[in-house]
Amino acid sequence: MKTQMTGAEIVVQALKDQGVDTVFGYPGGAMLPIYDVIFQQNDIRHILVRHEQGAAHAAEGYARSTGKPGVVLVTSGPGATNTVTGLTDALLDSIPMVVLSAQVPTSMIGTDAFQEADTVGITRPCTKHNWLVKDTEELAHTVHKAFHVATTGRPGPVLVDIPKDVQFADGAYVPPNKAEIGHYSPRVKGDTDAITALVEMIEKAERPILYTGGGVINSGPAASMLLREFTNATNIPLTSTLMGLGAYPASGDHWLGMLGMHGTYESNMAMHDCDLMICVGARFDDRITGRLDAFSPGSTKVQIDIDPSSVNKVVEVDLPIIGDIGHVLETLLKIWKSRGRKVNSAAIDKWWGQINDWRAVNCLAYEQKGSIIKPQYALERLEALTKGRDRYVTTEVGQHQMWAAQFLGFDDPNRWMTSGGLGTMGYGLPASVGVQIAHPESLVINVAGEASFLMNMQEMGTAVQYRLPVKQFILNNERLGMVRQWQDLLHGSRHSHSWSESLPDFVKMAEAFGAKGIRCDDPTKLDDAIQEMLDYDGPVIFDCMVEKHENCFPMIPSGKAHNEMLMGDASTEGAIDTAGAVLV
Amino acid sequence: MNALNLKKGSTSHSAYNLRSLADTTIESHTLTIMVDNEAGVLARVIGLFAGRGYNIESLTVAEVDHEGKRSRITVVTTGTPAVIEQIKAQLGRLVPVYEVHDLTIEGASVERELALLKVTGTGEKRVEAMRIAEVFRARVVDSTLESFVFEITGAPKKIDAFTDLMRPLGLMDSARTGVAAISRGV
Ligand SMILES: Cc1ncc(C[n+]2csc(CCOP(=O)(O)OP(=O)(O)O)c2C)c(N)n1
Ligand SMILES: [Mg+2]
């Protein structure tokens, strides 16, 4: 291989050497040199999206479903600014992503040139790190370093801004193993004394619980396997955040369901009453804790996380263990076994007795009666008709997202892609595109709300162009349902702008894009309609007309504690007091 | 099992902060941060403070190792102990950061600041300014018949005291570098 190349060639060679097989992008003036090199090679597949936000979310879907970093190419100015939401989304959910943006030539930087934006300035707070490369000699080093940073420690999005003249100029190419990637290397091994202290706590605990999150999935499939082994061997009940679904199988005996604002009754009650909380790769988000001063008041809290800043941020923990989840769980299992595999079985059996009483409340119960489809029913049927299949699910944001988390079961990691931290409407469709690109033979479903779907609906064009058989399952309540629910709860049911007016005909929309459209509004015809969607070999928009005023329960209203949940039959009026009303 | 002491672990910028902050003491800490001297590193550090609502009382930065391209940033910040811990953890995970030291709690350290003060006046006031400057070991680095520029180094408190004394004697202008700090011993 020649070592002198143009900057554009260096970029593409670096991507190849990083094992990149797919990039999501959109060209423009400042990006043309790199696009010209892309054109003249076949190793990297370029997926042309319809909007750069779509590229970023597609890359997130690709990354989340494969464990590999997602790669995005965008032009300067508006191309780069359109990735800001995706970058922020990836930052909050710790998704590895490398965005390569073009910049105006170095000589024009700072002159308000055409399509100039201060991209590194704009994206500094929404990336893990970013670089402006002003010298072609630095380019290979920087691109390799970008991959290193995106995938090492707590993963996250990075951005490399490349001026057009740097793409044209010649420079030396260095492969990944020769690149200067700097000193960034967070510790992965947990402290053995701390892990031993945790084992001692586990041996004595009477009411332990595992509270797991996206960190387990980020750590890789091995971490999920270790988590299963540990949970099953110790008989400790387990709950998970929205981001952690699938790390422990939903069909597993120890699974309590998701916790938090729309989590299950048994999860939240168990979190409240436990005496030992083992937080594994989660971060005590406000959607999880509810009211802080009433959050699990009697428990000893242990937190395993690779990021020291996640510890003691909102909740003080008694024992932090800093390290990679997989490494720590491996050591934990080893020490626990070497000390004789002890747990307080009698107490834990009693604890399970209590938990089973909570389970018996059947908190997700709803009634499908009459001629209108309940959203929960639609998801239950979708689950029944797709269970056991090689299935990936993405979602948009809103009530449908929470119902999907409640009613779909995930038995493996990397199968559930949702915007947790940022709550980005418009995430699900492009994410489903990215997932389907990575898994061409699998069933990929985006559970959507009609409002969220409209936010990035242009990506149906991408799905059709690349023959991606993504299934867009829209729970159409003709409402910004989650907003309407909050207005019921804290604004006297004054539904200010929470209607979806002038909705398009989604069946016709599908047809206009060259996809298939299906509409169903009859519970008795739902199974057949879903089957038709599954049987169709191509992209489908499924317009599932559902009950318009259904609210999502259980719910911990903001400002309330885990044991103050609202259940399905609750009155929502005035459920949140003034202190809670200021919260988001 | 011990109950959770939420106040200790709390932060004052959480949207869910419904706790009493009554006994939350605000402390001042001097942090030194070794960083790669790369473009934008200062913006990154300052942006972290601004974005997360932390305070900066004073900030200095300069390259200290030209070969190794390393700079040292010294920040004096205030916050509750929990917030200070968060600040350190947040700084520590920035990619260009090598290490973060909290000189306020990591043993003895020296802190110095340099200031330039322009004092104008004639007659008795001018003589008095000169006399006080001697006591504080400030040097005259510029003088006209009606003005002096004093250079003073010392702990920030000493500079505060000198500045206060110069005020009635004709202090016109002053410039301070912010704190540079280093641990004592080896
Ligand atoms: C980009 C963006 N804008 C606004 C919001 C606030 N928001 C959260 S849920 C929601 C309504 C979503 O409506 P829809 O997609 O139809 O889902 P539903 O709740 O009805 O299931 C809104 C507006 C958001 N999360 N993201
Ligand atoms: Mg809706």
pLDDT digits (tens, 9 = 90+) for B35-64: 999 999 999 999 999 999 999 999 999 999
Cβ–Cβ of B4/A309 closer than 8 Å?
no
Tell me if A452 CB under 6 Å of ligand 1: yes
Tell me if A420 CB under 6 Å of ligand 1: no
Residue B150 lies in a domain: yes
Residue B88 shares a structural domain with residue B31? yes
In the predicted structure, residue B147 carries a pLDDT above the cut 70 = yes
Of A483, A484, A584, the one to substitute when testing ligand 1's pocket (max ligand atoms within 8 A of C-beta) is: A483
Query: A10-63, pLDDT tens digit by residue?
Result: 999 999 999 999 999 999 999 999 999 999 999 999 999 999 999 999 999 999
Measured CA angle at B118 (ends B113, B120), to 5 deg: 150
Rounded to the nearest angstrom, the distance between the alpha carbon of A64 and the centre of ligand 1 is 22
CA atoms of A242 and A245, how far apart (whole Å) = 6
Tokens of A28: 């423009």
Amino acid at residue number A104: V
Residue B96 shares a structural domain with residue B139? no
Residue B71 shares a structural domain with residue B134? no
Domain boundary, last residue among B73, B102, B131: B102
Residues of chain A with pLDDT under 70: 1, 569-579, 581, 584
Q: E-strand spans in B8-108?
A: 27-36, 58-65, 70-79, 97-102
Q: What are phi and psi of B20, to 5 degrees?
A: -70, 135
Considering the candidates A4, A16, A41, A114, report the single residue annotated as catalytic.
Answer: A114
User: pLDDT tier at B15 (50, 70, 90 boundaries)?
Assistant: very low
CA atoms of A157 and A90, how far apart (whole Å) = 6
Of A472, A482, A546, the one to substitute when testing ligand 1's pocket (max ligand atoms within 8 A of C-beta) is: A482
> Which ligand is closest in space to the CA of residue A426?
1
Residue A453 · residue A425 · CB < 8 Å: no
Tokens of A402: 């929470």
Instruction: Check residue B22 and give its pLDDT.
Output: 36
Q: Provide the domain count of chain B.
A: 2
Tokens of A196: 């031993």
Instruction: Check residue A571 and give its pLDDT.
Output: 55
Q: What are phi and psi of A416, to 5 degrees?
A: -130, 115
Residue A433 · residue A64 · CB < 8 Å: no
Residue B78 shares a structural domain with residue B137? no
Runs of H (alpha helix) within A419-520: 428-438, 450-455, 460-465, 481-490, 506-513
Residue of A314, A315, A317, A584 to mutate when probing chain B, most B C-beta within 10 A:
A314
DSSP A275: S
| Residue in the structure block whose two tokens are 């260095």 | A174
* Closest approach of B177 to chain A, Cα-based (Å): 26
Pairing of strands A471-476, A443-449: parallel
State which ligand 1 atom lies nearest to the alpha carbon of A400: 21
Q: E-strand spans in A386-442?
A: 391-395, 416-417
| Residue in the structure block whose two tokens are 């965005």 | A99
> Percentages helix, strand, coil for chain A, rounded to the nearest 5?
45, 15, 40
Cβ–Cβ of A149/B95 closer than 8 Å?
yes
Sign, CA torsion A519/A525/A527/A533? negative
CATH number at residue B77: 3.30.70.260
Distance of CA A31 to the CA centre of its chain: 29
Rounded to the nearest angstrom, the distance between the alpha carbon of A454 and the centre of ligand 2 is 11
List residues bridging with A255 in a β-sheet.
A238
Which residues have a beta carbon within 5 Å of ligand 2, which is an ion? A 449-450, 477, 479, 481
Instruction: Check residue B24 and give its pLDDT.
Output: 81
| Residue A423 falls in which region: left (phi positive, over 0), alpha (psi -120 to 50) or beta | left
Cβ–Cβ of A583/B16 closer than 8 Å?
yes
Runs of H (alpha helix) within chain B: 6-9, 41-51, 81-92, 124-135, 156-166
Tokens of A205: 């605990």
Instruction: Check residue B17 and give its pLDDT.
Output: 37
Cβ–Cβ of A153/B93 closer than 8 Å?
yes
Residue B51 shares a structural domain with residue B91? yes
Rounded to the nearest angstrom, the distance between the alpha carbon of A425 and the centre of ligand 1 is 6
> Percentages helix, strand, coil for chain B, rounded to the nearest 5?
30, 35, 35
Tokens of A67: 């464990």
Rounded to the nearest angstrom, the distance between the alpha carbon of A476 and the centre of ligand 2 is 5
Sheet containing A157-163, strands listed edge to edge, beginning at the edge strand earlier in sequence: A45-48, A22-26, A70-74, A97-103, A157-163, A129-132
Residue B140 lies in a domain: yes
List residues bridging with A102 in a β-sheet.
A162
Tokens of A249: 């199988």
| Residue in the structure block whose two tokens are 């084992």 | A199
Residue A405 · residue A245 · CB < 8 Å: yes
Question: How many C-beta atoms surround the C-beta of residue A293 within 10 A?
Answer: 16
- Closest among A431, A216, A452, A459 to A323, alpha carbons compared: A216
Residue B150 shares a structural domain with residue B178? yes
Residue A378 · residue A524 · CB < 8 Å: no
Residue B77 structural domain: 27-102
Q: What are phi and psi of B78, to 5 degrees?
A: -125, 150
* Closest approach of B19 to chain A, Cα-based (Å): 6
State which ligand 1 atom lies nearest to the alpha carbon of A453: 15
Tokens of A233: 């061997």
Residue B64 has, within 13 A of its CA and on its CB side, a CA count of 14
* Closest approach of A131 to chain B, Cα-based (Å): 8
CA atoms of A11 and A17, how far apart (whole Å) = 10
Residue B123 lies in a domain: yes
Domain boundary, last residue among B77, B102, B127: B102
Tokens of A263: 């989590």
Rounded to the nearest angstrom, the distance between the alpha carbon of B64 and the centre of ligand 2 is 57
Instruction: Check residue B14 and give its pLDDT.
Output: 33
* Nearest residue in A to B95, CA atom: A184
Tell me how far CA of residue A331 lies from CA of A58, A200, A249, B80, in angstroms: 35, 14, 22, 35
CATH number at residue B131: 3.30.70.1150
Domain boundary, last residue among B102, B134, B161: B102
List residues bridging with B55 in a β-sheet.
none
Pairing of strands A300-305, A276-280: parallel
- Residue A200 appears among annotated catalytic residues: no
Residue B91 shares a structural domain with residue B150? no
> Which ligand is closest in space to the CA of residue A448?
1
Tell me whether residue A42 is exposed, middle or buried, using C-beta atoms within 10 angstroms of its C-beta: 0 to 12, 13 to 18, 19 or more: exposed
Residue B61 lies in a domain: yes
Residue B39 shares a structural domain with residue B80? yes
Nearest CA, atom 13, ligand 1: A480
H or E element in which residue A322 lies: strand A319-322
Residue B169 shares a structural domain with residue B118? yes
Residue B50 shares a structural domain with residue B85? yes
Picking from B10, B17, B95, the nearest residue to A129 by CB comes out as B95
| Chain A residues inside the 8 Å CB shell of B21 | none
| Chain A residues inside the 8 Å CB shell of B49 | none
* Interface contacts A/B by beta carbons within 8 Å: 97
Residue B40 shares a structural domain with residue B86? yes
Instruction: Check residue A191 and give its pLDDT.
Output: 97
- pTM here is 0.94
- Closest among A31, A33, A36, A317 to A194, alpha carbons compared: A317
Residue B9 lies in a domain: no
In the predicted structure, residue B6 carries a pLDDT above the cut 60 = no
Picking from B17, B43, B90, the nearest residue to A309 by CB comes out as B90
Residue B60 lies in a domain: yes
Cβ–Cβ of B10/A318 closer than 8 Å?
no
Residue B171 lies in a domain: yes
Considering the candidates A68, A108, A115, A225, report the single residue annotated as catalytic.
Answer: A115
State which ligand 1 atom lies nearest to the alpha carbon of A450: 16
CA atoms of A56 and A87, how far apart (whole Å) = 7
* Closest approach of B152 to chain A, Cα-based (Å): 37
Rounded to the nearest angstrom, the distance between the alpha carbon of A398 and the centre of ligand 1 is 5
| Chain B residues inside the 8 Å CB shell of A291 | 16, 18
Residue B19 lies in a domain: no
Length of chain A as a residue count: 584
Cβ–Cβ of B40/A120 closer than 8 Å?
yes
Residue B155 shares a structural domain with residue B120? yes
Determine the longest span between alpha carbons in chain B, in angstroms.
74
| Chain B residues inside the 8 Å CB shell of A183 | 36, 98
State which ligand 1 atom lies nearest to the alpha carbon of A475: 21
